[in-house]
Each structure stands twice: as C-alpha cells, then as structure tokens.
Chains A and B, each alone.
Chain A
Amino acid sequence: MSDVKLTSVQKYYAAFHALRDIDLTIQPGEFVVMVGPSGCGKSTLLKSIAGLSDITSGRIEIAGRDVTRTDPGERGIAMVFQSYALYPHMSVAQNMGFGLKIMKRPRAEIDAAVRAAAEILRITDVLDKKPGQLSGGQRQRVAIGRAITRRPDVFLFDEPLSNLDAALRTQMRVELATLHKRLGATMIYVTHDQVEAMTMADRIVVLRAGRIEQVGAPLELYRNPVNHFVASFLGAPRMNFFEGRLRDLSAGATLEVPGLPEVTIPALAADHGLRPGNRVTLGLRPEHMRIDGRGVTTPATLRLAEELGRESVLYADAGALRTTGSDTGTESVTLLLGAGTPPPEGSTLQIGFDPADAYLFAEDGRTVTAPKSAP
C-alpha cells in the first residue's frame, strides 16, 4: 500500500501551467524531499497535496483514500509552513491543540497530546507563552508540535528551516530526522538546501518548471542524473560543463572539446542515439578533477583557492577550455581537492580527469553515458 499517490496531477493558475502531469507514489514512512529552482512549483505541489489549492485535473490519494476533492482538514495531513504561521493570539499550548479542538476532542485528550508533543520537542516550559515571545528555533518547534498533535498520516513541510541561522538549522535537521524515525510517519519536505536534501531524504524529487525531472535515492540521483538539469542542480560546488562536438563512436565516444586533447568516454548508455558530429556537453564533478598530471590534462592558471580545512575549492583558468553555466558566473574550471595545502594562487597547474568519471549529455540534455555504479 502506498501512503500518497499522485496520478496525472495538473494545475493551472489562470493560463499559467504550474504543475504538469505529476505522477508520484510515496510509501508509508518514507521521507521524500522535493527540490528545484525557485518558482518550479514545489510549494504548489505541497499545497495541492494538502488541499490548500485545488488541482485542475488528476487524482490524489492519501492512505488509500481518494482525497482529490476533500477538505484539507480531512485529508489526514499536517503542514509546517516556512513562516511557521503560528496563531499570534493563542498560547503555545492553544496553538498546538487547535487542530484537536476543531475536531471537538475532549479536553483531557488535547492536553495529553499537547504535553506529549511538547516533551518530544522539549518545549514544555514555554507552553503558556505567546508565539511573539519565542525565539526562532522555539517557534519552529511549536509549528512542528502543532503538526504532531494531530497524528497525521502525512507531514508536509515547506522550507521549514529556511528562517533559522546555520547552527540552529543543523540542530533542527538532526532533530527532524530523529523525529521521523521515532514517529515512523510519512514526510514530504520542500527545501532549497542541498545538505538537507542529501542527508534527510529517502528519496529526492527534482522538479523543474512544474514537471518531475527525476525521482530517486539521494546518492543515486547524484551519481546517475538523468539529464543535464539534474546533474547541474545537485552537487555543490556544481558540476563543470564543457561544450564539445562528437567525432567518432567506434569505441566509446570520442569528442573534441576546445582546450582539451581528444577525449574518449569509455561507456555509453545503450540507447544513446548519438551520431558523429553531434554537439554534446561534457560534465565533470569538481571532486573528479585532479592536479596530479594523470588522465586527460591541460595547463591552467590557478585564479583562486578557497581553503575549507577538510578540503579546498580551486578555480582555475584553462585558456580555451571554458565552462558554461557555472555557479560563479565565470568560465573557470572548479576543482575540489582533499586535505592538504593547495598550490599558491597564480601558479600554473596541469588540471586533468579520468574519462571514466565523466558524464556526457546530448544536445537535448539527456545523459548518454552508461549508469555508474557505487565505487
């Protein structure tokens, strides 16, 4: 049995097509994270599941029930908002008990549920305060507590940690993961934060312009993105992309990339559909770049080195070898090196990579290299 099932969900805001044919099945107890660029429809999808916005067509099932036209309060969901949306005129306890009060549950049951949730979240000592008197982290806990007391089938989170500072965010992330294990509830979680997505998710859903690009376990998505978009979206620092042209397909794919010697990518996907002469994009994750002179190499000047202690991020200018669509908005190549002192800025390096690590994308963005297995 699945816990949440979306079938051909479409959503229009007037003429604007916000969700395009969304199909998604989520298993009970799963932690699903939705990511995608701003405006891609993450919140819209979450609100559609919650019933806060009506979908134009398609079907939504929760815990085996068709809830497409059901009111939000009856869907068995609870939602945590980015701004917390705590009722400013109610105390913390009243906020947390409001949903049960609406259900006309007996007083004693409400109190017990509020107390239990408060204990899990360690906010028992602020139960009588108003939201305005709480710190950001406490408000966040109350918002989560409000969701817990209702014992929903599905928790929906819309960027719940984005208003917190870095330290609190890490703390709450760990707490949420613990809570998920403890409650065993299904959770759907929207975030902009790569780390949250990679660490918390059982599966990640990547959305773009109202469409699902790819669904899968975090490492699977990282290792085997189905297209250029997913490859560029996951991973920080971002993958390096170099434009090139396909020369020969007799053994793997041999391509010409300006600024590089001839490169041959060994393993292609079975249905790559490429022809010699096609324009392609070569993709290389920064951690696959090296400076030890092995593999395919080219000389470059080190423009800037960011030392982060455990690792260093290097930005190097490699003459005719230019990246496209990089994080930094420049054409420099990004390298991620392990511990150790990086070379001085301004020095000349031989940057290189192993062609087996490279990704190749067809002109329409599809990944055409063979799936990579875990190292």
Chain B
Amino acid sequence: MLRTRRSLRHRATPALLLAPGLLLFLVVIVFSALRTFWISLHAWDGFGPMTWVGLSNYAELWGDPQFWVSLRNNVIWLAVFLLAPPMGLAIALLVNQKIRTMRLAKSLFFMPLVLSTVTVGVIFVWFYDPSYGLLALLFHAFGASPPAVLSSDTWVTFAVVFAALWPQVAFCMILFLAGLNTLDEEIIGAGRVDNARGWQMLRHIVLPQLRQVAFIALAISMIGALRSFDIIAVMTSGGPFGSSTNLAYQMYQESLFSYRFGYGAALATVLFAIMMVFIVWYLLRLLRDERSA
C-alpha cells in the first residue's frame, strides 16, 4: 500500500525534530565517554601520537598509592553523603508547618543549593580558617586551640565533604518537602484515627509513602558524592600533598598538569565503572516504576 506524501512527511518530522539534540548528545557526550575508554589503553601527552599500551595504565593504577588515597576518599564521600537524605528529611519536617514566616524560611534553607560550588568552597575555606574562621571561634569558646583542618591530611577530606554536604542537604530537603506535599491526606487521617503518633506515624505511615522520594534523594546523593570535583579544586586543590584528592580530581591532575592523558583516562574509566553501578541501579528502578505506572 502506498502511503501518501503527506503521510511520509508526518513520519519524517519526528526524526527531524529528534536529530539535532540527539546528534549533539551522541557526538559530544556518548562518543566522548567511549573514546575515554579507548584513550585509557594508550600512552598520550595530549598533542603527539597515541601509543598503544594495552592495560598497562590500569596495572599502574593498581600500584599507585595516590590511586588508593583517591579511592579511599571517594568512599568517605559516599559514606558522609549518606547523611544528606536523613538531614534533608529532618529539615523538611521542621519547616512543613503553615505558619506565616515558614515560606520565607523554606526559601532561605534552599539557598546553599543555588550558590555555585565555587562560592560554597570559598565560604567554607573562610569558615575553617584556623585564625579567624567560625570553627576557630567555636574552639576558642570551649577554650581549645583550633585545628587547621584544611592542612591536616587526616581531617581535610572530612572538612571538604562537610562543606559539600551543605547544598546536598538542601537538595534532599526540597525533594522531601515535595514528597510531604503529596502525602495521601486520607491515609494520614486514618493513622491519626488509629492514634499513631510521632515516631510511629513517621515510621509506619509517612515514610512508606515517601519511599520513592527517599530513593531518588539517596541515588542523587550517591551520584553527587562520586562526581564531586569543584569544591576540592577550590578548597584544597587536592592537598595537602594529595591527601584530599578523589578519582575525579586525580584524573584532572594527571591529565592537565602531568600531561598523562592515557593514565587520566584510565582513572576516568574506573570512576565511570563505579558510577555505573549506581546509575544502573537507578535506571532499573526508574524503568520498573515507569512500567508499573
């Protein structure tokens, strides 16, 4: 059966609409991600020709103490970021009251999220300053002498992560506030009639309804922890002596400072692999929910 010309046009339009965005995304994003893996199998200074080295970049990673520092720091980031969803939920519960000034308070709680990470970084460098920072002030108040957290290889990563936690908590709070607004009023009412209170109410009636939101908050916090870069660059540049690098930052350093693009690409690939675990977990759940919806 011949389709009319018009009908053909109808079929072609979607393809034409899809093409520009899709092509750009495929070329710049997808192709680049694949190419990174290819580069990781080479030695390359970024200018000259690439030489095939097989898996030796990865072998080198295994023996590189800096790599293990980065990996350990990534684990610390993940662990500390687990705090973001519960803290966000706590603040969301705190401000979810219909009292006159609460709207403004909510907006102000969101604020850290709107600030650029560079801004947050600068603010926290100031906060941690051992001579005049807020932290120092607190220590003085208790008669202790303040530590220079950003120059301590034990504390530096924690200090940076806590700074990054600030906007992340705000983000989780937004998600939970939205979740709290979609709670089924009748189920809450039923819970009240059954005399559920406080913790019981939260545990048995509210949280089950927030499962979807909590999942998203958790997934996004984990992914956010793994991709953190800006704040390390601004606050410590990976220092002191490389003790606060993570895979993302080390990758950047190896490539752009040491001109070891192949090695950098190998680091990026490892990061990619770790991230993929979380992304696949997230995608599978998302698709499952989409199907069942």
Contacts and interface: CB of A to CB of B under 8 A. Distances in A.
- State if A and B touch, Cβ cutoff 8 Å: yes
B1 to A, nearest CB: 5
Contacts, number: 14
A69 B6 contact: no
B288 to A, nearest CB: 19
A75 to B, nearest CB: 12
A70 B1 contact: no
Contacts of B3: 69
Interface string B1-23: 11110110010000000000000
A74 interface: yes
14 contacts: A68-B1, A69-B1, A69-B2, A69-B3, A69-B4, A69-B7, A70-B4, A70-B7, A71-B4, A71-B6, A71-B7, A71-B10, A74-B4, A74-B6
A62 to B, nearest CB: 15
Contacts of B6: 71, 74
Contacts of B7: 69-71
Nearest to A71: B7
Q: Chain A contact residues (Cβ within 8 angstroms of B): what range?
A: under 10
Interface residues of B, number: 7
Contacts of B1: 68-69
Interface string A271-296: 00000000000000000000000000
Contacts of A70: 4, 7
A70 B4 CA distance: 7
Nearest to B6: A71
A68 B10 CA distance: 16
Nearest to A59: B1
A189 to B, nearest CB: 28
Interface in B1-60: 1-4, 6-7, 10
A71 B5 CA distance: 11
Contacts of B10: 71
Nearest to B4: A70
Interface in A190-234: none
B18 to A, nearest CB: 20
A71 B10 CA distance: 9
A253 B140 CA distance: 107
A45 B1 CA distance: 21
Interface in A36-67: none
B243 to A, nearest CB: 57
Contacts of A69: 1-4, 7
Closest 8 CB pairs of A and B: A69-B1, A71-B7, A69-B3, A71-B10, A71-B6, A68-B1, A70-B4, A69-B7
